[in-house]
Structure 1
Amino acid sequence: MEKNVELPDFTKNNYPETTKSAVLNKTFDIQLKDTKLGKMGSHDLLIKVMAVGICGSDVHYYDHGRIGDFVVKKPLISGHESSGIVVAVGDEVTKFKHGDKVVMEPGIPCGKCKYCLAGKYNLCPQMKFMATPPVDGDLSQLIIYPDEFTYKIPNEMSYEVGSLSEPLSVGVHAAQMLSIQPGKSVFVSGAGPVGLLAIMAAKAFGASKIIASDAEPERLACAKKMGADTVIDVTEQDVKTTTNDLTNGEGVNTVIEASGNVHAEQDALLTLSRGGKIAYVGMPAQDEIPLNMPFIQGHEIQIFGVFRYANDYPISIEILTENLEKAEMLLTNFYSLAETKSALENTRTNKQHSLKTIIYPNEQLRKNN
């Protein structure tokens, strides 16, 4: 267990009725409020939230108030990349105990629809996903969460690294879709936090050659540290030409497009070899993106849309456990719960020098340099 972490002595029948939370009232309006905790069920855990990573979607709700059909119509608790410590357990909980370090998978599916029964619960129409309107997130000092979607992390893993399980699971899901394995080449388009963790996932799945691109030098440097063999500065190099040169004119076997940039989504496709596969992870700002259909058909390209993840958290925790030092490199900015607005502003406006921002709902374990 990490130092300086206070462990409350709660029970399932004796805990506060309210907790402090960072609440998005409307665009650019974040306020610290007392919010209701609710009742613990027999399979629930009471979790003291220790670290929450800021995601691009949190920023988008903060500055736009919506993502597609999901609109902030009433106050919403932000945050969904989280880790914490168990401080009370329900009557029928057997896998967890008081004091366990955990991470929380932020989506709770219905468990009964055809998608859930097929193991593709990320596609569940009734999914309740944290910080996606109208479902509250976990930027709170305490949350009640089902044990089924909670996972232990090893004591040697920091809470901050544990919170990376969520974005890494996106990369793991993409890697499995693309069947990344030894002998395969991978191009990761966009070296933001999701792209950098996708590099880590591709490396863990055995990719023989990893190429990454971005417009920011600091992110490209980090991509090399994550496991990229070669990086492409898109402000100076043409992506298609460079990847062709690096693959003897054949193109790469697989692509993970993680930027969501309209031009990057088009260019990434053209880096593929015949029979190649591309997974679109980054969410573009517009609904429709023109793609080169003759290229897709003539090269028999397989295109995958990636929507979150399913059954990937255990693999992500294992990968992080084996890459603790690398994962620490992604952690760049640290804020208290009361500083949530500043954290979102910095993430929104300081992409050049900011990778993963961490908010501490309770004790602040680290501070900015």
Structure 2
Amino acid sequence: MSPKNPSFVLKSIKDVTFEERPVPKIQNPTDVLIRVNVTGICGSDASPFYPSPVHYWQHGRIGDFILEAPMVPGHESAGTVVEIGPKVTSLKPDDHVALEPGVSCRRCPFCKAGEYNLCIDMKFAATPPYDGTLAKYYVLPEDFCVKLPESVSLDEGALVEPLAVGVHVVRKAGVKPGDSVVVFGAGPVGLLCCGVAKAFGATKVIAVDIIDSRLEFAERYAATGTFNATHSKNPNVNAAQIIKLFDLEFGADVSIDASGAAPSINTCVHVLRTGGTFVQVGMGTTEIAFPILKLCAKEITLKGSFRYGPGDYKLAVELIASGKVMVKELITGRVKFEDAEKAFEQVLNGQGIKTLIDGPLD
């Protein structure tokens, strides 16, 4: 093992560098030392719950999380086990793993209730003051490392993180065989929500966006139909068109917003049938005008979705391994570790869907 840990470091707004940092040590008997082989970069909307390294790079903060000291970005990673603590039983050196980047306290009421994604003392990679995974080595507890079967590549392993977000959303929505699902926003998370909904048995999966190229990809990827929301500025009109075009009778069973855009959020309410379910995952402005009367009159169930919880990472790996959800198609760019800033620039400029950064070489 190399005695050095080359790391990509965000020092301040638009100021990055490479540093040789100490190799992290196993502190607890159930810890695992991992060599990070590949990391995905997301350009998700600013949110204290879903850290975008690109946003920290451009603005130095997301909500109340402020970059006050140099930080290693990155949280969508897969790697190879290098060393294990003495009480690790499920992993061994050379195993390939997907890294779940948020380590919960295990003691708060939410952790004890099995909702560790709501932990009040979460230590999430690349969220100040915690370093992320854009380094050669990273340490995680055994139970936050999900072993990849031989059929799942390390590249696919890096996409387990955003897929787990989609799994959590679709589980929250309660999607079941025969359901109709409308997904607003055809970025990585929205596309993966489409893929998971289809894998869960939804027979109609409609992707909605304002960019034709995204919609064309969505239809090739997992959507059974697409709709360009520039059709009308009126959410009610767009909802009526979606219902008519895709023969949704009284409306969709489930709507999911992965855009964070106020018009999409409003259309989510209008497009649902009475008694339908609406899940919000996209992050936009802090407050929006909302059709509350429709929500009440139609007895809609409204849920927020926050990262991923128990079982979501493992199910994401199983969906990839079984071929029920394909993630390789989302990979549209790749750079070497020493060119990491180029990946940030590509995402900032809206190039492609998912860019990967290779881990440092020996």
- TM value normalised by structure 1: 0.90
Whole-Å separation in 2 of the counterparts to 1:114 and 1:122: 12
Question: Which residue of structure 2 lines up, in the alignment, with residue 29 of structure 1?
Answer: 15
Amino acid at match of 2:33: L
- Do the aligned residues in 2 keep the contact of 1:222 with 1:329 (CA within 8 Å)? no
Whole-Å separation in 2 of the counterparts to 1:155 and 1:166: 18
Whole-Å separation in 2 of the counterparts to 1:210 and 1:74: 44
1:45 to 24, 32, 41: 32
* SS, match of residue 235 in structure 1: helix
Going from structure 1 to structure 2, the CA distance change for 1:324 and 1:186 (only over 3 Å counts) comes to closer
Question: Which residue of structure 1 lines up, in the alignment, with residue 296 of structure 2?
Answer: 297
Question: Which residue of structure 1 lines up, in the alignment, with residue 323 of structure 2?
Answer: 323
Larger deviation: 298-307 or 264-273?
264-273
* Post-superposition offset of 1:324: 7.9
Query: In the TM superposition, what whole-angstrom CA distance separates every residue of 1:260-285 from its partner, at most 9, and x where no partner exists?
Result: 1222222222211111111111111x
Question: Which residue of structure 2 lines up, in the alignment, with residue 354 of structure 1?
Answer: 352
* Post-superposition offset of 1:156: 2.2
- Do the aligned residues in 1 keep the contact of 2:281 with 2:305 (CA within 8 Å)? yes
* SS, match of residue 326 in structure 1: coil
Aligned pairs (5 A) from 1:2-21: 10=1, 16=3, 18-21=4-7
Question: Which residue of structure 2 lines up, in the alignment, with residue 112 of structure 1?
Answer: 107
* Post-superposition offset of 1:221: 2.0
Question: Which residue of structure 1 lines up, in the alignment, with residue 46 of structure 2?
Answer: none
* Post-superposition offset of 1:298: 0.8
Moved beyond 6 Å, runs of 4+: none
Question: Which residue of structure 2 lines up, in the alignment, with residue 4 of structure 1?
Answer: none
2:59 to 39, 64, 69: 64
Query: In the TM superposition, what whole-angstrom CA distance separates every residue of 1:28-75 from its partner, at most 9, and x where no partner exists?
Result: 112111223332132111111011111221111111211111111111
Coordinate RMSD, CA, aligned: 1.7
Amino acid at match of 1:158: S
Whole-Å separation in 1 of the counterparts to 2:161 and 2:65: 20
Larger deviation: 20-29 or 240-249?
240-249
Is 2:252 the partner of 1:266? no
* Post-superposition offset of 1:203: 1.1
Question: Which residue of structure 1 lines up, in the alignment, with residue 309 of structure 2?
Answer: 310
Q: Percent identity?
A: 38
Whole-Å separation in 2 of the counterparts to 1:298 and 1:103: 43
* Post-superposition offset of 1:170: 1.0
- TM value normalised by structure 2: 0.92
Going from structure 1 to structure 2, the CA distance change for 1:324 and 1:48 (only over 3 Å counts) comes to farther
Question: Which residue of structure 1 lines up, in the alignment, with residue 256 of structure 2?
Answer: 256
Larger deviation: 148-157 or 261-270?
261-270
* SS, match of residue 270 in structure 1: helix
Amino acid at match of 1:22: F
Aligned pairs (5 A) from 1:196-345: 196-236=191-231, 239-245=238-244, 246-284=246-284, 286-311=285-310, 312-323=312-323, 326-345=326-345
* SS, match of residue 50 in structure 1: strand
* SS, match of residue 362 in structure 1: coil
Amino acid at match of 1:290: A
Amino acid at match of 1:225: R
Aligned length: 347
